Structure 1
Amino acid sequence: MSTSSTVDRAFRTALYESAGNTRNTRNTRSARNADAALDTAASLLAADPAADAELARRGEEFVATAWRRGWQPADVVRIVRRELDDGHVRLAAALIRAQAARDRPRGRRWAAQLDALPADAPPRTDRFSHATAVLELYRLLLRLPALEPVDEPASASRPESRTLARIRALLAKAEATAYPQEAEALSAKAQELMARYSVDEALLAARAPDPDAPGACRIGVEPPYEQAKAVLLDAVAAANHCRAVWNEPFGFSTVVGFEADLEAVELLYTSLLVQAEAAMTRAEAAQRAGGRKRTKTFRQSFLAAYAHRVGTRLRAAAEHAATGTAAEAAEVLPVLASREAAVADRLERLFPETTTTRLRGVGDAAGWTEGTRAADEAQVRSRRPLR
Structure 2
Amino acid sequence: MPDAEQLLADALAAARATDVRQAERALDRLVVADGPAVDAALLTRLIRDLGRLWPRGWQPIDLDRIAARRLAPRGARLLRDGLAAQRREQPDPVPPWFDDQLAELGARWGGDAGWLDRRAEGDRISALRDAVDALVLVEGLPPIAVLRPPPGRPAVASRPVTPTGSRMLDRVRALLAKAESTTFPAEAEALTGKAQELMARHSIDTALLDAAAERPDQPSGVRLGTDAPYAAAKALLIQEVAAANRCESVWSDDLGFATVLGFPADLAAVELLHTSLLVQATAAMLRGRAERHAGSGRAERRPGSGRRTKAYDESFLNAFALRIGERLRAATATADQEAAQERGDDRLLPVLAARSDAVRERVDQLFPGVTRHRLQARDAAGWSSGTSAADRASLDVGAAPRAVRRGR
SS at 2:105's partner residue?
A: coil
Match of 2:391 among 357, 368, 376: 376
SS at 2:177's partner residue?
A: helix
Q: Does 1:328 align with 2:344?
A: yes
Contact 2:223–2:260 (CA<8 Å) still a contact in 1?
A: yes
Deviation of the 1:349 alpha carbon = 0.5
Contact 2:47–2:82 (CA<8 Å) still a contact in 1?
A: yes
Deviation of the 1:314 alpha carbon = 2.5
Counterpart CA distance in 1 for 2:309 and 2:39 is 48
Given the two structures, how large is their TM-score scaled by the length of structure 1?
0.85
Deviation of the 1:111 alpha carbon = 4.3
Residue aligning to 1:155: 158
Counterpart CA distance in 2 for 1:78 and 1:92 is 11
Query: Counterpart amino acid of 2:29?
Result: T
Residue aligning to 2:364: 348
Query: Counterpart amino acid of 2:336?
Result: A
Contact 1:216–1:255 (CA<8 Å) still a contact in 2?
A: yes
Match of 1:117 among 95, 101, 105: 105
How many equivalent pairs are there? 363
Q: Does 1:81 align with 2:68?
A: yes
Contact 1:94–1:122 (CA<8 Å) still a contact in 2?
A: no
Q: Mark the runs of 5 or more structure 1 residues left unpaired by the alignment.
A: 379-387
Distance of aligned partners of 1:96 and 1:172 in 2 relative to their CA distance in 1, 3 Å threshold: farther
Match of 1:315 among 318, 321, 329: 329
Deviation of the 1:167 alpha carbon = 1.9
Q: Does 1:365 align with 2:385?
A: no
Counterpart CA distance in 2 for 1:298 and 1:219 is 24
Moved more, 298-307 or 115-124: 115-124
SS at 2:229's partner residue?
A: coil
Render the CA deviation track for 1:95-147: whole Å, top value 9, x for unaligned.
Answer: 11232354353344x44432332679945133232222111111111111111
SS at 2:368's partner residue?
A: coil
Given the two structures, how large is their TM-score scaled by the length of structure 2?
0.81
Residue aligning to 1:385: none
Counterpart CA distance in 2 for 1:349 and 1:289 is 51
Residue aligning to 2:353: 337
Matched ranges for 1:277-296 at <5 A: 277-290=282-295, 291=297, 295-296=309-310
Q: Mark the runs of 5 or more structure 2 residues left unpaired by the alignment.
A: 109-117, 150-155, 299-304, 394-408
Deviation of the 1:337 alpha carbon = 0.2
Match of 1:298 among 312, 320, 343: 312
Q: Does 1:11 align with 2:8?
A: yes
Query: Counterpart amino acid of 1:131?
Result: L
Match of 1:251 among 231, 250, 256: 256
How large is the RMSD of aligned CA atoms in angstroms?
2.6
Deviation of the 1:190 alpha carbon = 2.3
Contact 2:83–2:107 (CA<8 Å) still a contact in 1?
A: no
Render the CA deviation track for 1:316-342: whole Å, top value 9, x for unaligned.
Answer: 233333213285222111100000011
Distance of aligned partners of 1:157 and 1:38 in 2 relative to their CA distance in 1, 3 Å threshold: farther
Deviation of the 1:208 alpha carbon = 0.3
Contact 1:10–1:42 (CA<8 Å) still a contact in 2?
A: no
Counterpart CA distance in 2 for 1:173 and 1:319 is 24
Counterpart CA distance in 2 for 1:141 and 1:113 is 18
Match of 2:222 among 182, 206, 217: 217
Moved more, 191-200 or 326-335: 326-335
Q: Does 1:63 align with 2:50?
A: yes
Contact 2:4–2:37 (CA<8 Å) still a contact in 1?
A: no
Query: Counterpart amino acid of 1:340?
Result: S
